[in-house]
Structure 1
Amino acid sequence: MFKLIHRQIIKELFHLFFLSLGCLLGIILLGRMLQLRDLLLAQNVGGGELMTLFIYLVPFFLLLLMPIASMLAVFLTFLRMSTDRELVALKANGVSLYQLLPAPLIFAILCTLGSLFVSYHGISWGMTHFKGTLLELVRSQTRLALQAGIFNQDFPGLTFYAHKVDEKTGDMEFVFVQDKRQKNITVNIVADKASVVTEVKQGALLISFKNGRIYRREGAKLDILQFGSYVIKLSLAQLFGSDYSPGERKASELSVAELRKLRADPNAFDDVDTKPSKVEVELAKRFALPAGCFVLSLFAMPIACIFQGLRQQWGLLISLGLFLVYYTMFSFGVSFGEAGTLSPQIGLWVPNVLFLLLFLVILQMAARERTIRFRPRLPRLRLRRAKS
């Protein structure tokens, strides 16, 4: 009987977990979609490419969303069981609340392991592929924009012309480029061959020229330089028309192994420039949030049991409010940790410890059937409003 009960509870827990996680991800990615659409407005990017970019962004948000999704799943499951009097029926058959604890415990452990996997590998994998795909999209769109025999001015400050363009490789022959990115200086480049290359680490688009000449005019002065190889570097932030640069990596985009390496040697990566305090905070966050999945999942069980006669929409608001309290405390820990006023190992773990202690206290209350009833109070509130 216990195996059947736990199996059904775990099944409902995961059903609500994936439903909650999908809804939360959809809301966040919808906002990111609008932001990315503005970012890629200058590039002719279709819906398929945007969906690919969103998939790579999912691990970045999972670390934050998994704790609230696991909490919602446990809260709504046991709230439904309490509202439908299933808990009363189980207690009448000798099943205590402690005997129901293994199902949410197993669920919490599995969610924690999944969150740890995302923390260790998922975020770094997603952001690396996101930036690589973004740069490849820009390169392919640039290659399509460069057509033979047509003057192209899509690049800011550059006028591009190629007599021949290979549609497959994007290699060009007999190339002319006029560069007016510097004030009062005009640079004309004439080359036999040219190609477009993207650099993921630099976050730049490189136009490589071979065998040509540079005519540099500044006022009445003209300089002529012959070269065998010459490269123009275009920042993708300029191409996007925003401050975003895919070449810059933040601490929140690194894996746990990279963060530990960066903590040991602040100059370990050339493309990462961040404060040591942010590295410490990010390392603490990678373990505190997965632990939050475990703590909040267990905490939601007795909370749902002590609220009898509560509708699910109100239960949803209460659970979101409790998570807001948790996340506010967590945000204060992040802020104090980055400012250096409080150790991240303390500030980011205080919410977990506090909610775990509350779980133990409220679990004893729920096991002793000390509940908070809502139905008798609603009519009184309505009568008071009617009198007033």
Structure 2
Amino acid sequence: MSLFFVVVAFAQVLKVSDTVTGLSVTGFEILQALIYSFPPLMGLLIPVSLLFATLLAVGRMSSDREIIAMSAGGRSPLQLLGIPAVTGVLLAGVCAWMLIYGEPWGVRGLNEVFQQSAQRALASGVRVGKFNEWVSGVTFMAQGKEGDELLEVVFADRRDGERPIVISARRGKVAAGDNTSDIIFDLKDGAIVLHDQKSDLIRVLRFDESRYRLDVGRLVNKRPKTVSSLQHMTMGQLLTYSQNPDKSRKNRVRATVFLHRKIALPIATLVFALLAVPLAVGGTSSARARGFLYSAGIVGTYYYLGRAVEMAARTGNFPALLAAWVPDIIGIIVFAILATRMKRGFA
């Protein structure tokens, strides 16, 4: 279980490192990003970790012939389900808490770290002597730099084709605004040139100090690649979103499935723990190897079956309320079959 956690943690480090590449992030912010990114992972990490841990423990008992000895003493092999069941219930509670409360907190924190880093990278990334265009239609250039001040600044905003704005200033600074989507241009001793294309009127306004706010939200509000737009929502927000008639049917279905999955995944923790017992029971190493192969198949089947049912629900071919529960229901059915065979095998 610990080894699997380390592998997943290392993979998450690589994902975070890839996401922050090119941003002026500090070591503390990378640590923050890692902490924030783990709650969204717990929904899958906890069930799969318990599945592998149970397989290893019961498989070891099977290889040491402890299960055969237990059966010879008149005890049912179904008693092996006790500890995995209790552990599964406890970890299901942890998993549910992580998905219901930890995931929205983590995703919001993760987005905030990335937005602040991207905003700071833009504000500090002015190239002197070259045109800087962060937003289409907005160009900024400074001829020189003295300390933290830029010299001979020219700023052009052509987003409104009928009323372009050109600003020139002797000195200026570029700083991050209070809002993570804002970049502030603090300019001194300059002029603003306004040109009305319709009337061909040109006005020049001189200033001693001026501040210009640029919205770069499209640049800094990009989510990490592995984060869904629904993951930052609470249960109440997801419920409201799923019932909002202004949203498209596909988005409402997606929100409904996502809402129910926050409960279905914790239930999967218990289902996986119970499934691991009959899979691991066997007297040979090949049986244990098959158990691990089966477990990999269970995880893959759970994920892809869930995705397939969700796609069917989006197209209206399956009830959205049941989509998240289908993998759990099938897992329970498979467990019942395997448990019956396990009991007969030691009868």
The AA in structure 2 aligned to 1:259 is L
User: Could you tell me which residue of structure 2 aligns to residue 36 of structure 1?
Assistant: 19
User: What do you get for the CA RMSD once the two structures are aligned?
Assistant: 3.8
- Return the match for 1:215 from 178, 189, 193: 193
The AA in structure 1 aligned to 2:216 is L
Q: Does 1:251 align with 2:230?
A: yes
- Return the match for 2:294 from 291, 301, 318: 318
User: Could you tell me which residue of structure 1 aligns to residue 8 of structure 2?
Assistant: 24
Which deviates more, 208-217 or 348-357?
208-217
8 Å CA contact 1:76–1:315 kept in 2: the answer is no
The AA in structure 2 aligned to 1:111 is L
User: Could you tell me which residue of structure 1 aligns to residue 177 of structure 2?
Assistant: 197
- The sequence identity of aligned pairs, in percent, is 20
The whole-number CA distance in structure 1 between the counterparts of 2:37 and 2:158 is 33
8 Å CA contact 1:79–1:305 kept in 2: the answer is yes
Shift, 1:49, TM fit? 3.1
User: Could you tell me which residue of structure 2 aligns to residue 298 of structure 1?
Assistant: 274
* Secondary structure of the structure 2 residue equivalent to 1:252: coil
The AA in structure 1 aligned to 2:10 is G
* Secondary structure of the structure 2 residue equivalent to 1:199: coil
Change (3 A) 1:321 1:257: same
The whole-number CA distance in structure 2 between the counterparts of 1:108 and 1:351 is 17
1:46-82 Cα distance to aligned partner (Å, 9 max, x none): 5553343122112222223322222222222212221
User: Could you tell me which residue of structure 2 aligns to residue 374 of structure 1?
Assistant: none
The whole-number CA distance in structure 2 between the counterparts of 1:294 and 1:118 is 16
User: Could you tell me which residue of structure 2 aligns to residue 187 of structure 1?
Assistant: 166
Change (3 A) 1:186 1:123: same
Shift, 1:105, TM fit? 0.6
Q: Does 1:263 align with 2:263?
A: no
Shift, 1:163, TM fit? 7.3
Change (3 A) 1:62 1:165: farther
User: Could you tell me which residue of structure 2 aligns to residue 368 of structure 1?
Assistant: 344
Q: Does 1:231 align with 2:213?
A: yes
Give the TM-score taking structure 1 as reference length: 0.71
1:204-238 Cα distance to aligned partner (Å, 9 max, x none): 2332557874224699974435686542212352x
Change (3 A) 1:244 1:143: closer
8 Å CA contact 2:183–2:214 kept in 1: the answer is yes
8 Å CA contact 1:25–1:61 kept in 2: the answer is no
Q: Does 1:351 align with 2:334?
A: no
Shift, 1:249, TM fit? 7.6
The whole-number CA distance in structure 2 between the counterparts of 1:96 and 1:161 is 83
The AA in structure 2 aligned to 1:258 is Q
Which deviates more, 127-136 or 338-347?
338-347
Between the two structures, name the one with larger relative contact order (CA 8 Å, sep ≥ 6).
2
Which deviates more, 76-85 or 152-161?
152-161
The whole-number CA distance in structure 1 between the counterparts of 2:56 and 2:93 is 22
8 Å CA contact 2:243–2:252 kept in 1: the answer is no
The whole-number CA distance in structure 1 between the counterparts of 2:269 and 2:223 is 32
Change (3 A) 1:300 1:229: same
Which deviates more, 216-225 or 150-159?
216-225
* Secondary structure of the structure 2 residue equivalent to 1:342: coil
User: Could you tell me which residue of structure 2 aligns to residue 385 of structure 1?
Assistant: none
Shift, 1:113, TM fit? 0.6
The AA in structure 1 aligned to 2:213 is V
Change (3 A) 1:224 1:267: farther
The whole-number CA distance in structure 2 between the counterparts of 1:225 and 1:234 is 25
8 Å CA contact 1:146–1:165 kept in 2: the answer is no
The AA in structure 2 aligned to 1:70 is L
Structure 1 gaps of 5+ residues are: 1-15, 167-171, 269-273, 372-388
Give the TM-score taking structure 2 as reference length: 0.78
8 Å CA contact 2:63–2:282 kept in 1: the answer is no
Structure 2 gaps of 5+ residues are: none
